[in-house]
Structure 1
Amino acid sequence: MARSKQQDVWEFFGELLKEHREAAGLSQGELGRRVFVSGAYIGLFEQGIRKPQLDVAKRIDEVLQTGGIFERTWRKLINKSPYASYFQAAAELEDMATKICEFESTAIPGLLQTPAYARAVVHASNPLATDDYVEETVKGRLDRSAILRDATRPMYWVILHEAVLRIPVGGPAVMAEQLDHLVVQARNRVALIQVLPFAAGAYPQMGKPLKLMEFEDAPPTAYTEAVYSGNLLDDPAVVKRAQATYDLLRAAALSPEVPLTLIESAAEDHRRCTPTT
């Protein structure tokens, strides 16, 4: 699988952690207990598979008496990321996932966005941003989608609320192009796409996105997002509840064969609204 652009430097973080832990004469389990995570997670940090939260990096500094080296390194790595700080860890994990399940109720997921659609989303959130900022942000978003073109791409399962198909992000022409892209990705078996119809009424996780990720050599995670904040969840009980929520969404959604016709119909509706010259 294609490596994350920052995977190498996070592995350096892990090597540094291992060096300081062993110099302090602590096992992974002992350090884990002192910073309130499991020894297994310390092992994942040291392998560069998982990235610690900032508060964990600070506690490691305190326990190992490093003078703040892990907090400074963490901040440096986060600042180099092309993603928002609250999404950075989730974006890194996408690269290593063997399966990604995603639900969106308001927008096309970033992994499936076209350049024009992504540009419209960025403009909407940053109306006074410079062109350079917009293009850099769009590029970062599109670079993420490279994992879907990799020979060992993850299984990607997406559930979209029908509202996502109807909101003319970027205008009718941009939206029609975006929906055409969804159909192509589904027909090429890059993504399995379902639609949760308006007729389903109330549904779990109303108004909130949900992303589930599974890995070959690490526990699964769940990611949810709110206004300028994200929650990467790896507590087994919480992840299990998130998986049950996704199962309920999947059960309420239209079967995979039906949505393509619905998406194509929505694309034609947007095309009919496109101004002619």
Structure 2
Amino acid sequence: MNGTTPRPRAYVLGAEMRDARQKSGLALRRLAAILDVSHSVLVRWERGDRVPSAESVSAVCAVLGSSATARNRMLKLAREAAAEPPPSTPIGVPGQSDQLATLLEFERTATRITDVATNVVPGLLQAPEYARAIIHAGEAENADKRVALRLGRREIITRRRSPVHYRALILETALHQPIGDPGTLLEQLRLLLELGAQDTVEIRVIPNSAGWTPAHSGDFFLLEFSKAAPVVHLEHHRGSVFLQSESDVAAFVRARDEVERVAMSCADSAELITGIIARARAA
């Protein structure tokens, strides 16, 4: 698999420009000729490999006849993309910081996220003490800041304006995994019920009775956008990687679809979680 650290705003901007050009019916080489730039430059702009200047974006919009709204949106993305740091290695502490910043930007611009979790509750759904127990167990340094950052990421699914549609597919075993003390797990399960009641949040459990599923191969995070192609984020102990190639992403989309076919409905999942809480209280 080919993993890279993309620039999120540049990636989304490129998709917006490509979509506008395709809707106009103008071929890539024809647009390049009108703008008097090389074909390869336009290719890099549309792929998000290179950030066009604000003047170049304005010129493209003028040729394509883009609306003022579309033009302003692309200019805003161009300014933000120009301020993005260049990609760096995904391994080690500096790389972890860059990867997290990239993930945060992708989360903010995504329209739909599917989070497949195998061993613990996904980060976007974690309760404070649950997150603290996990982070302290892994690396205690700056734990409080890392917990606050993890909890702050949930804003993308709880914000009032245009929240991301979020779907969590969680292995049933993760709901029984002892994290922290018994009270910590109960707090976490209650939060799952609360968040799952939101219209834009789906929490679905993969039952033990389903047997082996692609989820058992490991966690993955699928981000989808209004116009840009999907991106997959994979995380491990000391770093993470983004997958963008069409074949790699397609494999994870198929895995997502297969897991969804065997996962319980939201209502049945909530009933299961409620039962786990009731049994824990009675114990």
TM-score, normalisation: structure 1: 0.70
Is the contact between residue 123 and residue 131 of structure 2 (CA under 8 Å) also seen in structure 1?
yes
Superposition pairs of residues 166-185 of structure 1, within 5 angstroms: 166-185=176-195
Tell me which residue corresponds to 2:156: 147
Runs of 5+ consecutive residues of structure 2 not aligned to the other structure: 1-6, 14-35, 53-77
Q: Structure 1 CA distance, aligned partners of 2:255 and 2:114? A: 11
1:175 CA drift (Å): 0.6
| Distance 1:219-1:134 versus aligned 2 partners, 3 A rule | same
Is the contact between residue 195 and residue 259 of structure 1 (CA under 8 Å) also seen in structure 2?
yes
Partner of 1:156, secondary structure, is: strand
Tell me which residue corresponds to 1:260: 270
Does 2:146 correspond to 1:137? Answer: yes
1:149 CA drift (Å): 1.9
Query: What amino acid is the match of 2:134?
Result: V
Query: What amino acid is the match of 1:134?
Result: A
Is the contact between residue 159 and residue 193 of structure 1 (CA under 8 Å) also seen in structure 2?
yes
1:198 CA drift (Å): 1.0
Q: Structure 1 CA distance, aligned partners of 2:184 and 2:217? A: 23
Query: What amino acid is the match of 1:241?
Result: A
Is the contact between residue 219 and residue 234 of structure 2 (CA under 8 Å) also seen in structure 1?
yes
Tell me which residue corresponds to 1:245: 255
Does 2:238 correspond to 1:228? Answer: yes
| Distance 1:157-1:107 versus aligned 2 partners, 3 A rule | same
Query: Which residue, out of 30, 35, 40, partners 2:46?
Result: 40
Query: What amino acid is the match of 2:177?
Result: I
1:94 CA drift (Å): 0.4
Runs of 5+ consecutive residues of structure 1 not aligned to the other structure: 1-6, 15-25, 56-77
Tell me which residue corresponds to 2:87: 53
Q: Cα RMSD over matched residues? A: 3.1
Does 2:75 correspond to 1:100? Answer: no
TM-score, normalisation: structure 2: 0.69
Alignment size in residue pairs? 222
Q: Structure 2 CA distance, aligned partners of 1:196 and 1:208? A: 13
Partner of 1:54, secondary structure, is: coil
- Judge which range, 241-250 or 190-199, deviates more: 190-199
Is the contact between residue 220 and residue 234 of structure 2 (CA under 8 Å) also seen in structure 1?
yes
Q: Structure 1 CA distance, aligned partners of 2:109 and 2:163? A: 9
Q: Structure 2 CA distance, aligned partners of 1:40 and 1:202? A: 39
Q: Kindly indicate whether structure 1 or structure 2 has the higher relative contact order, using CA contacts under 8 Å at least 6 residues apart.
A: 2
Percent identity for Structure 1 against Structure 2 = 25
| Distance 1:187-1:42 versus aligned 2 partners, 3 A rule | closer
